[in-house]
Amino acid sequence: MMSEKIRVKDIGKNPDRNLTTIRPEELIPLPPPYDDFEEQPDWKELSKGARENLVCNLDGFVAVSLPKPQNAEEEKKYVDQFVDGMKKLLSRENNWTFLQPLMLSLEYCIGCQTCSDSCHVFEGSGDNEIYRPTYRSEVFRRLVNKYAKPGGKFTAALNGADVDLNWTTITRLAELAYRCNLCRRCAQVCPIGVDNGLITHEIRKVFSQELGWAPKDLHEKGTVLQLEVGSSTGMNSLVAKDNVEFIDEDMTDITGIEVETCWDKENADVLLLHNAGEIMAWPENPGAFAIILEKAGIDWTLSSEQVGYDGVNYGLFYDDFQLARIALKHAGTAKNLKVNKIVMGECGHEHKALMTIADRVLTGEMSVNRESCLPFLEEIVFSGKIEFDPSKNDFPVTLHDPCNIVRNLGIVEPQRRILKYLCPQFREMTPHGVDNYCCGGGSGFAVMSVNNFTDWRVNIASRTKFKQILDAFADQPGPEVQKYLCAPCSNCKGEIRDMLHYYNALEKSSITYGGLVELIVNAMVDVKEPFIEWEMH
């Protein structure tokens, strides 16, 4: 238990100090050799400039980078806008997209705290009160009840009305909205069906859609860049094509299998939509896809249309309009090429954004067939078109379940059937499947590294996952055995990379990570040399 007792109303008080302070010794302990926190790298100090200019009084970490206000008028302007935003969030015109689930979650939480124990952030932090799933929701609920509902001031006394509406409250709340991975594990256990992940998502929307506040990595360098240039990596389509050409050459060299990615092929069966980050950070992943599709004789293509070569859609995490803009581009690309279907690459949020969240806005001619790569790969692996030798994958393998694919979409077994077939030493984590824990990078965190936020991510958000990974390999913990963590999701891989790097787990435990297609290619009889490289990318 934390020594300090933080109350809901404290969020608006004492702007001169942090609402809470995170101490390494209070976080849940990790198993050896990671149990001595003094051996871990020190946390990065905020720069003097950041401390002076940015709002940093939540927990000492900064994800949103809000400039401090110039004067009281500016504060008031934003506070008033926030109230307007809350009202719009409750309106049919401006928020029909999530109105019913939001209202149910705001109005019917009975306060049983069942959700707390399911949250990896709360648990990882050693039960810090402000990371409880209900803390942020309760702040918002009280503000909504009092300031955004008709007659709110009248009933507020009964429902708790003690949260001050001021600059400190709204800025801490904006920052706190980025201390939840939106994994929805809490929503699964709620006995009423309340969804604190959704409330967090909606709080982020108020800030983005009304006040224009969102982390730069998600907005300016994310959705805006993607819509402007074509990809949130900053690659335009020419650069993407060039890079893929290099990857093709590399793959041919490494495997001896001739690979040539086809671009913009009309009427292809499959439009493969990668997270373009793979092309830059993990080229072997799109490379492995190309090898598998070639060998299986699939009629497939990539698109070079603006946005059509990057499946990323950070709008999912903070802004319905950015989400819709990007989803429409993705669907439009498939329409223009007249393909049979879009197959999602190994990217969790791409799956969720395009397969389910955008489903109901892809009306009329925008409706295109959309499929996850996991059942698609399963079909290929068990089709007999490719010959496998599972003994080539005879090392310990465990599977991370990306929340957006598994908990949210219910795609659980195809990837397991592949791994059970191709990896003799496959073992599950505990818990797994739809009960898994988030990697800590969910809801955009994996690409957010400003200020000292990476330290927060790897130490708190990723802590439970890291412990789970170590436990899955507890039978062979030492560095002498090479172990593979399969994470079929780009953002999860981004987070896992930072986590393993921070804890130096490649050296201490020989744990490397990668996607599913790499394991498939590694087991192919036609691929003579090992495909998986046991080093940190």
Q: Which stretch binds another protein (CB under 8 A): 70-78, 273-281, 359-367, 481-489?
A: 359-367
Regarding 134 and contact with another protein (CB under 8 A), the answer is yes
Q: Whose Cβ is closer to another protein: residue 303's or residue 322's?
A: 322
**What does the alpha-carbon distance between residue 400 and residue 435 come to, in Å, rounded to a whole number?**
11
By beta-carbon proximity to another protein, the closer residue of 321 and 534 is 321
Q: Which of 108, 110, 249, 256 binds ligand HEM (CB under 6 A)?
A: 110
Q: How far apart are CA 460 and CA 453, in angstroms?
A: 10
Distance of CA 455 to the CA centre of its chain: 17
- Choosing from 66, 194, 203, 381, the residue that interacts with another protein (CB under 8 A) is 194
Residue type, 264: D
What does the alpha-carbon distance between residue 148 and residue 161 come to, in Å, rounded to a whole number?
13
Please count the residues of this chain forming the interface with another protein, following the rule CB under 8 A. 97
Q: How far is the CB of 134 from ligand HEM (least distance, A)?
A: 12
Question: What type of residue sits at position 44?
Answer: K
CB nearer to another protein: give 192 or 525.
192
Q: Does 58 bind another protein (CB under 8 A)?
A: no
For another protein, the closer CB: 248 or 378: 378
Give the count of alpha carbons within 13 A of 180, CB side only: 34
**77 vs 528, beta carbon nearer another protein:** 77
Beta-bridge mates of residue 535: none
Is residue 8 near another protein by the rule CB under 8 A?
A: yes
The token duo for 505 is 């787990």
* CA dihedral (77, 80, 82, 85) positive or negative: negative
Nearer Cβ to another protein (293/500): 293
Q: Is the dihedral of CA 261, 264, 267, 269 positive or negative?
A: positive
Rounded Cα gap, residues 443 and 314, in angstroms = 8
Looking at the chain, how many residues does it have? 537
Q: Tokens for 108, please give them.
A: 């019917």
Please calculate the CA angle 205-206-212 and round it to the nearest 5 degrees: 85
Q: Which two tokens stand for residue 393?
A: 């994958």
User: Taking CB under 8 A as the rule, does residue 409 contact another protein?
Assistant: yes
Q: Which does 123 bind (CB under 5 to 8 A by kind): another protein, ligand HEM, none?
A: none
Q: Which of 406, 423, 461, 520 binds another protein (CB under 8 A)?
A: 406
- CA 273 from centroid of its chain's CA atoms: 17
Q: Give the residue carrying structure tokens 């993705």.
A: 330
Shorter beta-carbon distance to another protein: residue 132 or 463: 132
Q: Which of 434, 450, 481, 536 binds another protein (CB under 8 A)?
A: 434
449 binds, among another protein, ligand HEM, none (CB under 5 to 8 A by kind): none
SS3 365: helix
Binding test (CB under 8 A) with another protein, winner from 63, 64, 176, 190: 190
Cα separation, 459 vs 41, in Å, equals: 10
Residue ranges in 169-228 that form contacts with ligand HEM under rule CB under 6 A: 191-192
CB count within 10 Å of CB 249 equals 13
Is 112 an interacting residue with respect to ligand HEM (CB under 6 A)?
yes
* Interaction mask 60-99, ligand HEM, x per CB under 6 A: ----------------------------------------
Q: Spell out the residues 6+ positions from residue 379 whose beta carbon is closer than 8 angstroms to its own.
A: none
* Residue of 28, 30, 103, 257 interacting with another protein (CB under 8 A): 103
Looking at 319-399, list the stretches that DSSP marks H as alpha helix, in order from N- to C-terminal side. 320-337, 348-351, 373-381
CB 400 within 8 A of CB 492: yes
Q: Which of residues 299-328 bind another protein (CB under 8 A)?
A: 321-322, 324-325, 328
49 binds ligand HEM (CB under 6 A): no
Q: Which token pair is 462?
A: 């990723």
Q: Does 158 bind another protein (CB under 8 A)?
A: yes
Determine which residue in the list 94, 166, 236, 252 makes contact with another protein, applying CB under 8 A.
Answer: 94
Instruction: Tell me the HSE value of 434 on the side-chain side, using a 13 A CA sphere.
Output: 10
- Can you tell me which residue has the tokens 């302990």? 29
Report d(CA 471, CA 424) in Å as an integer.
Answer: 19
Q: Is 372 in the site for another protein (CB under 8 A)?
A: yes
Show contacts with another protein in window 214-243 (CB under 8 A).
219, 223-224, 227-228
Rg of the chain in Å (alpha carbons): 23
Distance in Å, CB of 112 to ligand HEM, minimum? 4
Residue 413 contact among another protein, ligand HEM, none, beta carbon within 5 to 8 Å by kind: another protein
- Binds 30, which of ligand HEM, another protein, none (CB < 5 to 8 A, cut-off by type)? none
Q: Does 238 bind ligand HEM (CB under 6 A)?
A: no
- Closer CB to ligand HEM, residue 49 or residue 191? 191
Between 49 and 111, whose beta carbon lies closer to another protein? Answer: 111
Nearer to ligand HEM (CB atom), residue 114 or residue 356: 114
Among 180, 211, 290, 381, binds another protein (CB under 8 A): 211
364's contact among another protein, ligand HEM, none, with CB below 5 to 8 A by partner kind, is another protein
Answer whether 433's CB lies under 8 Å from 412's CB.
yes
Positions touching ligand HEM (CB under 6 A) are 110, 112, 191-192
